């Protein structure tokens, strides 16, 4: 299969089960909602070392938020409920509650809930007030700028992490440009995030290492500087490889994100240095969710 002169490898991306929540961050202005959201998603690119994977899903109009203010929808993924229960109060407390004029609400309706304001209320030192509106409990926590409003709990759902595709091309500049275009298209798909910096991975990894203390290490088969030293999967024409990793609510959302992302990368074509699209998998042994590139792109 070729798209605009770009070869689509006959392979699949291998993904694994995760747990996810969506929170809504509002503030007096969109600028401050963004600042709070960006603080929360800091150091949240990979569960390998960060404990969770988080990113902004989309901007919200005042008509879409619980308090009628500008807002941000942000999604957080982790390997287990226990991990989410640790990450949510910690990150909301340190990054959202500290941001001037901010508030935080659950953006996911589900039977399964984890604490959010339920833990953070104690910062109010006994002066916090609870309000229940339409069956949802909120906490009004007095702070120096006024009040921090935070919902008691947030919903949790089953999710999928590790959907991915690789963009292989002539130079780093050409591959980066194609990946940037891909991420912009993926942002339009609801229910997915690309948690790595700018949505792009420059140091894609494989499972395991020659060092016992590492669970992941550089994917030498796709490192251009190692051609000739290892069993490489790169031809002489490939000078750079970058990866886009996609976490999503379900298989449908990840498939659609993969489709639009790959098509955006392929729009540059072989004339602009984009030669192949591939994906990362481990023979089906890492996770039960397999996203076959050619099937998605038919």
- 19-157 and 2-14+159-297 share a CATH fold: yes
Task: Indicate the domain borders of the chain.
Answer: 2-14+159-297, 19-157
CA angle in degrees (0–180, nearest 5) for 8-9-11: 130
Q: What is the 3-state secondary structure (H, E, C) of the chain?
A: CEECCEEECCCEEEEEEEEEEEEEEECCCHHHHHHHHHHHCCCCCCCCCCCCEEEEEEEECHHHCCCCCCEEEEEEEECCHHHHHHHHHHHHHHHHCCCCCCEEEECCCCCCEEECHHHHHHHHCCCCEEEEECCEEEEEEEECCEEEEEECEEECEEEEEEEEEEEEECCHHHHHHHHHHHHHHHCCCCCEECCCHHHCECCCEEECCCCCCCCEEECHHHCHHHECCECCCCCCCCCEEEEEEEEECCHHHHHHHHHHHHHHHHCCCHHHCEEEEECCCCCCCCCCEEEEHHHHHC
Q: Is the pTM of this model over 0.85?
A: yes
CATH architecture of 19-157: 2-Layer Sandwich (3.30)
pLDDT tens by residue, the chain, 298 residues: 999 999 999 999 999 999 999 999 999 999 999 999 999 999 999 999 999 999 999 999 999 999 999 999 999 999 999 999 999 999 999 999 999 999 999 999 999 999 999 999 999 999 999 999 999 999 999 999 999 999 999 999 999 999 999 999 999 999 999 999 999 999 999 999 999 999 999 999 998 999 999 999 999 999 999 999 999 999 999 999 999 999 999 999 999 999 999 999 999 999 999 999 999 998 887 899 999 999 999 9
User: In the CATH hierarchy, which top-level class contains the domain 2-14+159-297?
Assistant: alpha beta
**Packing angle, helices 172-186 and 251-266, rounded to 10:** 140
């Amino acid at each position: 299969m070729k798209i605009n002169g770009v070869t689509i490898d006959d392979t699949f991306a291998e993904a694994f089960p995760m747990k996810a929540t969506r929170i809504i961050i509002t503030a007096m202005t969109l600028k401050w909602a963004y600042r709070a959201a960006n603080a929360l998603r800091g150091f949240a690119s990979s569960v390998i070392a960060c404990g969770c994977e988080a990113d902004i899903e989309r901007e919200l109009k005042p008509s879409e938020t619980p308090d009628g203010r500008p807002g941000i929808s942000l999604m957080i993924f982790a390997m287990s409920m226990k991990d989410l229960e640790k990450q949510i109060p910690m990150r909301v407390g340190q990054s959202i509650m500290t941001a001037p004029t901010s508030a935080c609400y659950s953006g996911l309706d589900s039977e399964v809930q984890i604490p959010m304001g339920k833990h953070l209320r104690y910062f109010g030192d006994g002066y916090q007030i609870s309000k229940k509106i339409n069956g949802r409990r909120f906490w009004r926590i007095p702070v120096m700028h006024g009040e921090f409003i935070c919902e008691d709990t947030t919903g949790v759902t089953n999710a999928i992490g590790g959907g991915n595709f690789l963009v292989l091309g002539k130079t780093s500049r050409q591959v980066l440009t194609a990946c940037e275009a891909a991420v912009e298209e993926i942002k339009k798909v609801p229910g997915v995030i690309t948690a790595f910096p700018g949505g792009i991975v420059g140091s894609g990894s494989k499972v395991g290492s020659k060092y016992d203390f590492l669970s992941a290490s550089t994917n030498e088969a796709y490192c251009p500087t190692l051609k000739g030293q290892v069993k490489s999967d790169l031809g002489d024409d490939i000078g750079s490889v970058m990866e886009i990793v996609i976490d999503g609510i379900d298989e449908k959302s990840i498939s659609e994100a993969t489709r639009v992302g790959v098509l955006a990368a392929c729009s540059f074509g072989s004339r602009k240095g984009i030669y192949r699209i591939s994906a990362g998998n481990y023979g089906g042994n890492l996770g039960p969710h397999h996203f076959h590139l050619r099937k998605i792109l038919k």
